[in-house]
Amino acid sequence: MKTEDTIRVNALPVKTYRFLKVNDSALAVPESLVQYRDDWSALQIVKPPLKRHPDQRGGGASPDQNPADDPGVSLTRSPFSALPQEIREIRTGMGEAADALFEEAGIESALLTVSAFGATMMLPAEITCGSSALSSLVIRMEAHSEAAVILDIRGGETGCAAAKTFFGLSVRVIAEQGATLHLILVQRLDGRVAHFEDIGAVCAEGAGVDMTTLTLGGGQNHLGARATLMGDNSFFYNLSGYYCGGSASLDLNFIADQQGRDTISRMIFRGVLTDRASKLFRGTIDFKRGATGSVGDEQEDTLLLSPDVVNKAVPLILCGEEDVEGRHGATIGRLSEEMLFYMCARGYSEDDARRLIVQARLKSVAAEIPDDRLRWEVEQWIEKEII
């Protein structure tokens, strides 16, 4: 690579007019990329499994137990380039160019296999100032398993003198028959960090992913997610919250690829833009032929707090099947004068009223974090850092 290469990511499934500049986005990549130093070795089981498959023996793991010692949760490693074909073929939101970064850098993937029911796992990542790192995680949910996996991404060190910090994350999910994964990604990076999250999931019959993302920091952020609903009655639920201030940017590309019958997708986005921030949202519901009886819904609601922000939204429905139901929409707005008047009449200053309204929007997403301690930390961070 050169000193800084550029790749194209977050492509729309179907291109629109080029002059709109929304078909895809450029991602500047540092010359040298290395393995993230921890790479999820600090995995914690914060809530033990409730039960296991009928053919498994033993009780749940204790909260401080090494997951490698627990037959319901195992963590192994494999070079990204040596992952099984079924995993490598999972399509992600950011696309093949992002995959190539991991192969060229020789990144190892952590493979998390879950056969238990009811476990909650925490995967903290503390990003070092000045580093340029990648991390790859594969989650396999075995048949009829259920778990919550929380990725807590923070760091970059406020006031860091380094020219640039870069962190890229790849998450791939296989949800076998009847399995459910609750995937939570919380990002609280310093405002000068360039960061991306690239997610792909494949869901078998009756399986699904219920995802929550909360983007609160970072300077240049790219987030792509693609859920392929192959099995009948599979599902993808997503709730995303974001806050962009200063000169930060956020580029989103979410795709629900609905192939099986009676599949369900629901994608909700709640965001706040202020100062000179910019955001580009792409949300696609793609009903493939054979997806009879399927339902898809995507809604984005963005609150604009400055006349200098740049906000673009591309909600899209593609339909190759007649017997489906799809809804989409994107709304933007400023703080309601009526709401401000109501709060000011009850003793709040206008600045305090604005702050409370914005924080409440973000806290409504943080409320979905299943770990009490992390949820409290994030709520405190919102109160301290948000305007």
Which whole-number Å values give the CA distances from 272 to 216, 255, 267, 308, 358, in the listed order? 10, 22, 17, 13, 7
For residues 18-44, average pLDDT: 83
In this predicted structure, the answer to whether residue 31 has a pLDDT above a threshold of 90 is no
Which SS3 state, helix, strand or coil, does residue 20 take?
A: helix
Question: Number of structural domains, the chain?
Answer: 1
Higher pLDDT, 294 or 131: 294
Q: Is the dihedral of CA 327, 328, 333, 335 positive or negative?
A: positive
C-alpha span between 98 and 107 (Å, rounded): 12
Tell me what pLDDT residue 72 has.
Answer: 84
Q: What share of the chain is helix, strand, coil (3-state, %, to 5)?
A: 15, 50, 35
Rounded alpha-carbon distances, angstroms, from residue 191 to 153, 165, 271, 358: 13, 10, 17, 19
DSSP string spanning 316-353? EEEES-SSEEEEEEEEEE---HHHHHHHHTTT--HHHH
Coil, strand or helix: which one is 93?
coil
Residue 343, CA distances (Å) to 348, 354, 357, 362, 383 in order: 6, 9, 10, 19, 18
Predicted local confidence at residue 350, as pLDDT: 73
What's the pLDDT tens digit per position in 80-90?
A: 888 888 998 99
Q: Residue 135's CB: how many other CB atoms inside 10 A?
A: 25
- With beta carbons less than 8 A apart as the criterion, state whether 258 and 228 touch: no
Rounded CA gap, 144 and 262, in Å?
A: 19
Task: Look up residue 265 and give its two tokens.
Answer: 């997708």
305 domain-assigned = yes
- Give the three-state DSSP class for 301: strand
Across 64-73, 129-138, 287-296, 339-348, which has the greatest mean pLDDT? 287-296
Cβ proximity of 344 and 309 under 8 Å? no
Distance CA 41, CA 335 (A): 43
In a domain, 350, yes or no: no
> 311 has which bridge partners?
279
In this predicted structure, the answer to whether residue 341 has a pLDDT above a threshold of 80 is no
Q: What is the dihedral of CA 175, 179, 182, 185, to 10 degrees?
A: -10
Give residue 3's pLDDT band: very low, low, confident or very high (50, 70, 90). low
Q: How do residues 185-228 score in pLDDT, each as one tens digit?
A: 999 998 889 999 999 999 999 999 999 999 999 999 999 999 99
pLDDT at 63 over 80: no
- CA 383, CA 188: separation in Å to the nearest integer? 13
Supply the mean pLDDT for the chain. 87
Say how far apart CA 13 and CA 285 lie, in whole Å: 10
What's the pLDDT at 293? 96
Q: How high is the pLDDT of residue 355?
A: 83
In sequence order, what are the residues at sequence separation of 6 or more whose Cβ sits closer than 8 angstroms to the Cβ of residue 353?
Answer: 339, 340, 343, 344
Please give the model's pTM, rounded to 2 decimal places.
Answer: 0.91
> CA-to-CA distance for 238 and 81, rounded, in angstroms?
29
The mean-pLDDT minimum among 33-37, 145-149, 197-201 falls in 33-37
Residue 344 lies in a domain: no
At residue 1, the pLDDT reads 39
pLDDT the model gives residue 289:
95
Residue bearing tokens 């409730």 = 50
Q: What is the largest CA-CA distance in the chain?
A: 63
Statement: residue 250 has pLDDT above 50? yes
107 lies in some domain: yes
Please, which pLDDT band fits residue 348 given cuts at 50, 70 and 90? confident
The pLDDT of residue 160: 60
Assigned token pair, 139 = 């989650």
Write the DSSP symbol of residue 68.
G
Residue 289: how many CB atoms within 10 A of its CB? Answer: 10
More confident residue, 47 or 248: 248
Task: Report the percentage of the chain scoring pLDDT > 70.
Answer: 89
Q: Report helix, strand or coil for 358.
A: helix
Q: Which residues of 12-42 are buried (b: 16+ CB within 10 A; e: fewer)?
A: eeeeeeeeeebbbbebebbeebebbebbbee
**Considering the domain boundaries, does residue 382 fall inside one?**
no
In the chain the first and final C-alpha atoms are separated, in Å, by 39
- Name which residue leads in pLDDT, 227 or 124: 227
Please check whether residue 237 lies inside any domain of the structure.
Answer: yes
Range of the structural domain that residue 254 is part of = 30-336
- Give domain status of residue 9, yes or no: no
Please report whether residue 355 resides in a domain.
no
Distance CA 222, CA 196 (A): 5
Q: What kind and span of H or E run contains 104?
A: helix 96-104
